[in-house]
Structure 1
Amino acid sequence: MAERQIWSSRTTFILAVVGSAIGLGNLWRFPYVVYTNGGGAFLIPYLIALLTIGIPLLILEMGIGYRTRSGAPRAFSRLLGRKYNLFGWMMVLVAFLIVTYYGVIVAWCVDYTVFSINLSWGSDPPAFFYDSFLNISDAFDGIGSIDIVVIGGAIVAWLWIYASVFKGVISLEKMLWITVVLPWILIIVFVVRGITLPGAMDGLAFYLTPDFRALLNPDVWVAAYGQIFYSLSLATGVIIAYSRLIGEKQDLVKNGIIIALANSFTSIFAGLAVFSTLGYLAHTSGVEVTEVVKGGIELAFITYPSVINALPIMPELFGVLFFLMLVNLGISSSFSIVESLNAGILDYVKKPEWVVTGVICIAAFIVGIIYMTNGGLYMIDLVDHYLMAYILPFIGLLEVVFIGYLYGAPKMRTFINRYSDLHLGRWWDYCICFVVPVFLIFALCLNVYEGIFQPYGGYEMLDNIIVYLLIGVIFILAIFMSRLIRNSDDDVDSEVPGDMDSEH
């Protein structure tokens, strides 16, 4: 087997992880979460969450990847025993489910980049998005026909993703300078343009004006911890996969801090672009900012096209650049997930990386066709909600319990400190063993309680049950994969960097 590639420099590794973390959610989710959870006051619990869960978990997963030089399944097998590769397969298969619908959202962005050339959405962006573009059905079970335009965008998106990953680190590093650096440049352009528009300050006031009473609401703290957890690509195997390729001379702790701060800064800074332009839209529409503030998909594909229509100068150019930025954000997150899948599979299947990558991309494209139908938007909404509200927190909880108590947080901290100039203290152990589990248990219990008494999104109970069954299939497949390849696992703690005998 060919020698494993490694990142050519510390900079490219940081760019790779930052590119995975800074996705579409940073642009359309974070600003809305800030606005609805106390404005500027939200930054207090957000920064506390960054210090107590974001940075500790990020460093933990970097340590796991670097310690084992493996993807998630074999990593947990080597650290804890062969039967624990089940947990790694859970990570990998959930990541696969995420990328099947994430790729479709990227396809929408590709299509809207083309639509921006002549502002195809016209004077009624909502009707264009729901009726003309998606031809959305009236209910979840109204799958209907496949949208050919979305299929075309998806083909472009998946070819781009494949081109980014098929040669491993060699192709990844080349693509990073486009998919990570370009969005940063464009965000700066949008901030500068946004704050110079009439009404921009009204939008920024709504975004950042602190409401310190919100700090007494436990939901605000859950939102802060949840945003950190989701935005750093934790519990999906991505950080583990990328970290297995770190060179010998690295500083794990400093890298983790830089990545976490870069992600958070980008989220906050992108909010300036979002709310300044929303303030402009409110100004031109003669309504309050609260009437145009939306989060999620509606912000990107309905609200922003309305803003673009109202721009007095070169709206077409602004539209192309905006959706091109979304495409790049989505591509960088998508190919990081594909690399996580690659890492898990290539540890066991001795095939060329370009072949495995191709199979993954084709499989994700085929599964994603269900999201390209008239009922696809409903399916994306439901699957994304249950993955983010239940499955990822559950996987994160298992991760910190397994490493914190079975492997030992102090043992992992000793290893990480050996490869870091900036050393972790015992506070890190307390975060991994107590703070993170307590938050995740509280968040899971709160989500389960709300889910029992009020099914998500007003959908019928049957619709929710269908998604439960879909996620259940993921866990069944994880068990199948674990048992299928368990006997091929290496011995625990084999093939790790450095002489670790002193730890045993």
Structure 2
Amino acid sequence: MAQRETWATRTGFILAAVGSAVGLGNIWRFPFVAGEGGGAAFLVMYLLFVGLIGFPAILVEFVVGRRTERNPVGALMQLGGNTWKYIGGVFIVTGFVILSYYSVVAGWFIRYFLEGLRSSYASQLAGFESAAAEAGAPVAAVMFGELSTGIDAFVFHTLFMAVTIGVVALGIRRGIELATKLMVPAIVLLLVGMAVWAFTLSGSSAGYEYYLSPEFGVILDNWTSLLPAAAGQAFFTLSLGMGVMITYASYLGEDRNLTKDALTIIGFDTGIAFLTGLVVFPIFFAAGITEPGEGGPGAIFVSMTEAFATLSGGRILGILFFGTVAIAALSSAISLLEVVTAYLIDEKGVERWKASLGMGGVIYLLGVPVTFDLIFLDLLDLFADGILLVFGALVLMILVGWIAPQFAVEELSKGIGDLGSLGQAWIWAVRVPIIIVLLVSLSLGVMDYVEFLTTDFSGWLTENL
């Protein structure tokens, strides 16, 4: 087996983990999922899920990764036996699926960034007015439809995957650690600046009310849809259930305080997600966009383009916004590719550059259909978010909580000291309430996906085949 690399510094690990967590999940996905969930109502459920479920769950992934020093397949096989390697394969599949469409979405952000450099967003929308009139659709939606599919989307998908493969091929220290040390601070600074600018906009107060003033009756009435959405978003944005934190923790030393690292990563990630809402929703409402949940995956492009076209200084802000998200997308994409790359390195002894190129190439091909029809994005995203991520987290909780709990407490204590009753409290939290919540979330996610397959996707098949 090829000798494994390690992180050069604690900061490198923290920023790499944060970089994985803060990508498109926070800046692309969080606003439209929060909008679909009613803004503040979703925010409450999301924060509860991150605190009560996300923190114990990330510790599980950390102890599994550091204990075994392996990728998810090798880690689960080492702890649970030979049969568990097949369950560990779920994490490899999850990385494949998510990165395949993730790369396409990242390409959209690059395209919108370049469009801002070319001309103002107002003038760009003007070029689609006649097509929008014929279609009877909003101009920004027509523009998104044109830019999100076709040969241009294919080209930018290709470009983004090529850069991702290049970074991962360079290795842990020269590639992933160096890149995230540069990218993550830039993301935070740019978002803070945009949040301050959004605060100055006339009409932004309605956005803050929508985002920060929950109506608990709405939560109670809609918990069956909010729960799987919040669960999926929490795991997506924390990179849980996809093997990233197992893989990254496998490069750690035994002297590290995993609890401290987990709190730092979750704090940064949740803070950036929250900060994204402070940017997006005030801008939406200041521009007269009062239904931020409409539009699904394309909502952020449609609504933000409309806003940048109408607000003073919108072109500069648009360039900053779309550029920031493109950077954040890369920081997450390299973590996803590292999971599947580490599998080939650890289990098959493949050289890093060959593993990253081979796996990256297959993932790239899987994403190609998304560049030509967005129904495939929904097909992959709903499957990964509502089923694969939650299932991956669930099997890990079962493994650590019921099959190998003693090793977990022992591993967590390294770098901390005697945990006392806190170690057992953590294990029982994993064993019962977290597993119950994940089972409910998985059941609801499966029902949602079946509904999608029998309605939207079957309708698409009828029309196109």
Q: TM-score, normalised by structure 1?
A: 0.82
Change beyond 3 A, Cα 1:150–1:15: same
2:167 paired with 1:164: yes
Q: SS state of the match for residue 367, structure 1?
A: helix
Structure 1 runs not aligned, ≥5 long: 136-146, 283-288, 466-504
CA contact (8 A) 2:255 2:414 kept: no
2:396 paired with 1:399: yes
Cα deviations across residues 296-328 of structure 1 (Å, max 9, x unaligned)?
432322111111111223x33222211111111
Amino acid at match of 2:415: Y
2:132 paired with 1:122: no
2:258 paired with 1:252: yes
Structure 2 runs not aligned, ≥5 long: 127-138
C-alpha RMSD of the superposition: 2.4
Aligned to 1:357: 356
> How far is 1:229 from its partner?
2.3
CA contact (8 A) 1:278 1:292 kept: yes
Query: What CA distance in whole angstroms lies between the structure 1 residues aligned with 2:153 and 2:44?
Result: 40
Query: What CA distance in whole angstroms lies between the structure 2 residues aligned with 1:451 and 1:350?
Result: 37
Cα deviations across residues 50-93 of structure 1 (Å, max 9, x unaligned)?
23210111011011000000001111111111221111112112
Aligned to 2:147: 133
Query: What CA distance in whole angstroms lies between the structure 2 residues aligned with 1:414 and 1:437?
Result: 21
> How far is 1:116 from its partner?
1.3
Aligned to 1:366: 365
Query: What CA distance in whole angstroms lies between the structure 1 residues aligned with 2:355 and 2:92?
Result: 14
Aligned to 1:155: 158
Query: What CA distance in whole angstroms lies between the structure 2 residues aligned with 1:243 and 1:38?
Result: 35
Change beyond 3 A, Cα 1:389–1:12: same
CA contact (8 A) 2:168 2:176 kept: yes
Q: Which moved more, 1:33-42 or 1:250-259?
A: 33-42
Change beyond 3 A, Cα 1:225–1:431: farther
User: How many percent of aligned residue pairs carry the same amino acid?
Assistant: 27
Query: What CA distance in whole angstroms lies between the structure 1 residues aligned with 2:331 and 2:163?
Result: 10
Query: What CA distance in whole angstroms lies between the structure 1 residues aligned with 2:165 and 2:423?
Result: 41
Cα deviations across residues 23-56 of structure 1 (Å, max 9, x unaligned)?
2221243345445556546555434322321011
Aligned to 1:204: 208
Aligned to 1:502: none
Q: SS state of the match for residue 8, structure 1?
A: coil
- 1:43-442 alignment, distance < 5 Å: 43-117=43-117, 118-119=119-120, 121-123=124-126, 124-130=139-145, 132-134=146-148, 147-170=150-173, 171-217=175-221, 218-219=223-224, 220-282=226-288, 289-294=289-294, 296-313=296-313, 315-373=314-372, 375=373, 377-408=374-405, 410-420=406-416, 423=419, 424-442=422-440
Query: What CA distance in whole angstroms lies between the structure 2 residues aligned with 1:156 and 1:196?
Result: 36
Q: Which moved more, 1:221-230 or 1:169-178?
A: 221-230
Query: What CA distance in whole angstroms lies between the structure 1 residues aligned with 2:328 and 2:296?
Result: 14
> How far is 1:237 from its partner?
1.0
Amino acid at match of 1:203: G
Cα deviations across residues 321-350 of structure 1 (Å, max 9, x unaligned)?
111111111111111000011111111222
Query: What CA distance in whole angstroms lies between the structure 1 residues aligned with 2:334 and 2:291?
Result: 36
Amino acid at match of 2:83: K
Q: Which moved more, 1:249-258 or 1:386-395?
A: 386-395
Q: SS state of the match for residue 312, structure 2?
A: coil
Aligned to 2:133: none
> How far is 1:119 from its partner?
3.7
> How far is 1:238 from its partner?
0.7
> How far is 1:450 from its partner?
4.7
Query: What CA distance in whole angstroms lies between the structure 1 residues aligned with 2:193 and 2:418?
Result: 35
Cα deviations across residues 196-226 of structure 1 (Å, max 9, x unaligned)?
1111112111111121223434334444333
Aligned to 1:477: none
Cα deviations across residues 452-477 of structure 1 (Å, max 9, x unaligned)?
5x445941437699xxxxxxxxxxxx
Change beyond 3 A, Cα 1:180–1:94: same
How many corresponding residue pairs? Answer: 442
Aligned to 1:486: none
Higher helix share: 2
CA contact (8 A) 1:281 1:292 kept: no
Query: What CA distance in whole angstroms lies between the structure 2 residues aligned with 1:173 and 1:243?
Result: 13
CA contact (8 A) 2:241 2:391 kept: no
Change beyond 3 A, Cα 1:457–1:297: farther
Q: Which moved more, 1:21-30 or 1:96-105?
A: 21-30
